Amino acid sequence: MNELREQTPLTQDVKAIYGEKASLESRIAGSEGYATLPEPNFGKGGWNKRNVTAFQTSPLSTVGQWQSIVHAYQPDGFQQPTIVLADGHVVMTQGLDALHDQGVIAMPLSQAEAEHASLVKEAMHSVIAQNENRYVALNSALWRDGLFLYLPKGIIVEKPIVVLSVTTQGGAGTFVRHLLIAKEQAQATVLTVDLAASDLAEELHVNVSEALLSDYAHVTFGVLHDFPKNATNHLMYRAKLARGAKMDWVIGELSEGYTVSEFASLLDGEGSSSTSHAVALGSGRANLNFTARMVHNARFSESDTMARGVMKDRAEAVFTGNTHILRGASGSNGLQSERLLMLSPKSKADAVPMLLIDENDVKCGHAASVGQINEEQLFYLMSRGISEQEAKRMIVWGFIDPVLTRLPVTTIKEAVEAAIERKMG
């Protein structure tokens, strides 16, 4: 069907690399989307000034030193079912067999496309359109790997499933893709961690993750992102919820690079609900454009969005909360708050709370604040003998604690705390 169209070099490469794969057709469509779609408008902030072509069509043939980077996050070894990806390759899987015995499919997406082609084909792009933007299209052309999780009806997975994606060498591009399907009443917790070597060369990182929740399914999705300054990141996570389903996002953003990220729940089923708790630490010259989006498209749907940002050095950020209640979604309730703590006079941040309400019978609330360390709080703590430095530390940690306590895996929570501690200086 494409014979008459001129083939782009990317399309030719994709054909050469993925000619044997079930995903070929979809990858070709992605490469064409990349060629034809305009550059996305990611608001002010200079996405177009970044090196967004810092990628190669094929993954690197050799894998770099990933162990030490992972070790910082899993010092006690792997207690959970785990997949480790390094430079686009699966380098380790563990504890997945026990899940298979439950009827759960938990495997690298590359394996699933071979073994469960129809499931993958049906679900992929069903939550995030392939051509939503140029880089989403690029990811669908070049995705290296990710998690494929299929939870049959009524199955409850107790242990969190951890996916660590490590980029050790820059320039090849990091294209992660996760796909989750939770059937009726199924429950699971997933934690994905994207890490990179701190001296990474210029790198484009695009992560596209979709989750499909059937009636009364409940998924907790933790996302941790820590890429260094040379990385340009586009993260797009989205869930679609049927009746009574529940999606809980827990997000830690520690990147020092340039990041545009969006986490969204499409509340399509009556009585579905979603929470989103995000903490971001902006340090160095980090530039973050973060959006948490809740789309209420059914009656009695509920959402609660909370974002806390701590900005230091010359970091810049825009935190947008977008709660949209569509016509017909009566009885819905949407809450959001964005609070930003500025630790440096050279850092900049905006909180943009958006409530779009097309229905009358709904409840909505929002709170937004941008401020420095509260002088009264500081005085209070110091008046008990605590030093200024320690008091400030306590206030900052207290500020992000409501989000940190929700991170699902203890060792990773501790690793995040250590990373924040390190970046806080």
Partner 1 sequence: MANSPVLTIDNLQVAIEDKQILQGVNLTVRGGEVHAIMGPNGTGKSTLASALMGHPKYSVIGGSASLDGEDLLAMSVDERARQGLFLAMQYPSEVSGVSNANFMRMALNSRLGEGNEIPVLKFHRELQKQMKTLSMDASFSERYLNEGFSGGEKKRNEILQMTILKPRIAILDEIDSGLDIDALRIVADGVNSLRSPDFGVLVITHYQRLLDYITPDHVHVMMQGRIVRSGGQELAKELEARGYDWIKEELGIIDDETVSAGM
Which residues contact partner 1 (rule: CB under 8 A)?
A: 374-377, 379-388, 390-391, 394-395, 397-402
Q: Give the other-Cβ count within 10 Å of 405's Cβ.
A: 10
SS3 137: helix
Comparison of 85 and 400: residue with beta carbon closer to partner 1: 400
Comparison of 357 and 382: residue with beta carbon closer to partner 1: 382
Contact predicate 286/316, CB 8 Å: yes
Residue 393 CB, shortest distance to partner 1, in Å, is 10
Contacts of 125 (CB under 8 A, 6+ apart): 26, 140, 210
Residue 67 CB, shortest distance to partner 1, in Å, is 34
Report the interhelical angle of 9-18 vs 134-142 (nearest 10°).
Answer: 30
Residue 1 CB, shortest distance to partner 1, in Å, is 57
Determine which helix (DSSP H) or strand (DSSP E) holds 220, and give its type and residue range.
strand 218-226
Residue 264 CB, shortest distance to partner 1, in Å, is 27
SS3 1: coil
SS3 197: coil
Rounded to 5°, the CA angle 234-237-241 comes to: 160
Residue 177 CB, shortest distance to partner 1, in Å, is 35
Cβ density class 386-400: b for 16+ within 10 Å, e for less: eeeeebbeebbeebb
> Hey, what's the torsion of the CAs at 108, 111, 112, 115, to 10 degrees?
-160
Q: Using CA atoms, how far apart are residues 375 and 189, in angstroms rounded to an integer?
A: 39
Residue 343 CB, shortest distance to partner 1, in Å, is 16
Residue 396 CB, shortest distance to partner 1, in Å, is 9
Comparison of 44 and 384: residue with beta carbon closer to partner 1: 384
Comparison of 6 and 376: residue with beta carbon closer to partner 1: 376
* Closest of 327, 319, 331, 316 to residue 293, by C-alpha: 319
Comparison of 363 and 379: residue with beta carbon closer to partner 1: 379
Q: How far is CA 263 from CA 46, 105, 245, in A?
A: 21, 24, 17
Contact predicate 260/227, CB 8 Å: no
Q: How far is CA 188 from the centre of its chain?
A: 17
Comparison of 78 and 397: residue with beta carbon closer to partner 1: 397
Comparison of 101 and 375: residue with beta carbon closer to partner 1: 375
Residue 250 CB, shortest distance to partner 1, in Å, is 16
Residue 327 CB burial class (10 angstroms; 0-12, 13-18, ≥19): exposed
Comparison of 68 and 387: residue with beta carbon closer to partner 1: 387
